[in-house]
């Protein structure tokens, strides 16, 4: 396992809409020097055609994970022009500063839950479609501490899923629990849960 990824424990739960083999909801966890990029992409619509679009965004970000979040989203916008487009949220962890830069376009929900569940930060989402119409982009920078939990979820899950998080559980257990309790079953769905470990 790459040392940068080992500083971020993560789990994923996902399923295509009934009747489809592929899901239009995709994700990326990609390390770079002193950081890790985490992203969730929802290709508009569902199934194989939406999957192709989402995977193009994954491919674009995978080549440039070290770039600022705004730059990455603009790259994806250029790459997806002429397609049905996508909505997406991403978070870039800086393992030296113990911060994340994050932003989202569309409705991929993002929440950072503090380790003791005493407080949470919610990602501000801006309207638009990556590949078609981008809003003015601003990334927010927030501090992270060991044990803080990031959740990114597509609209195939109902809101309020943070209630299903049990900090003592592994990220995979939490992802499975969220999916079981909050999955709509009427659309492609994906939830990514990542716990920040930080540098020892």
pLDDT of residue 47: 86
Q: Which of 49, 109, 119, 112 is nearest to 85 (CA)?
A: 49
pTM score of the predicted model: 0.94
Q: Which residue has the higher pLDDT, 12 or 46?
A: 12
pLDDT band at 5 (very low <50, low <70, confident <90, very high): low
Taking the CB of residue 19, how many other CB atoms lie within 10 A of it? 7
Percent of the chain whose pLDDT exceeds 90: 79
pLDDT at residue 151 tops 60 = yes
Question: Which token pair is 92?
Answer: 């870039």
pLDDT of residue 46: 86
pLDDT of residue 200: 55
pLDDT of residue 1: 44
Query: Of 46-50, 83-87, 172-176, which gets the smallest average pLDDT?
Result: 46-50
pLDDT at residue 2 tops 60 = no
pLDDT band at 21 (very low <50, low <70, confident <90, very high): confident
d(CA 181, CA 91): 25
Domains detected in the chain: 3-196 (3.60.40.10)
Q: Which of 6, 8, 5, 10 is nearest to 193 (CA)?
A: 10
- Stretch 47-55: mean pLDDT: 94
pLDDT of residue 6: 64
């Amino acid at each position: 396992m790459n040392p940068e990824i080992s500083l971020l424990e993560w789990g994923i739960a996902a399923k295509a809409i009934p009747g489809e083999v592929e899901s239009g909801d995709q994700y990326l966890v990609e390390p770079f020097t002193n950081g890790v990029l985490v992203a969730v992409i929802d290709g508009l619509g569902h199934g194989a055609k939406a999957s192709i679009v989402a995977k193009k965004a994954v491919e674009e970000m995978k080549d440039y994970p070290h770039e600022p979040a705004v730059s990455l989203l603009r790259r994806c916008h250029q790459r997806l022009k002429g397609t049905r487009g996508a909505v997406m949220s991403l978070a870039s962890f800086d393992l030296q500063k113990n911060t994340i830069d994050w932003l989202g376009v569309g409705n991929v929900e993002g929440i950072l839950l503090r380790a003791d569940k005493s407080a949470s930060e919610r990602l501000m989402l801006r309207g638009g479609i990556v590949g078609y119409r981008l809003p003015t982009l601003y990334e927010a920078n927030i501090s992270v501490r060991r044990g803080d939990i990031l959740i990114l979820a597509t609209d195939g899950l109902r809101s309020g899923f943070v209630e299903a998080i049990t900090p003592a559980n592994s990220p995979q257990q939490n992802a499975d629990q969220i999916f079981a309790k909050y999955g709509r079953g009427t659309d492609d769905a994906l939830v990514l849960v990542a716990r920040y470990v930080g540098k020892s």
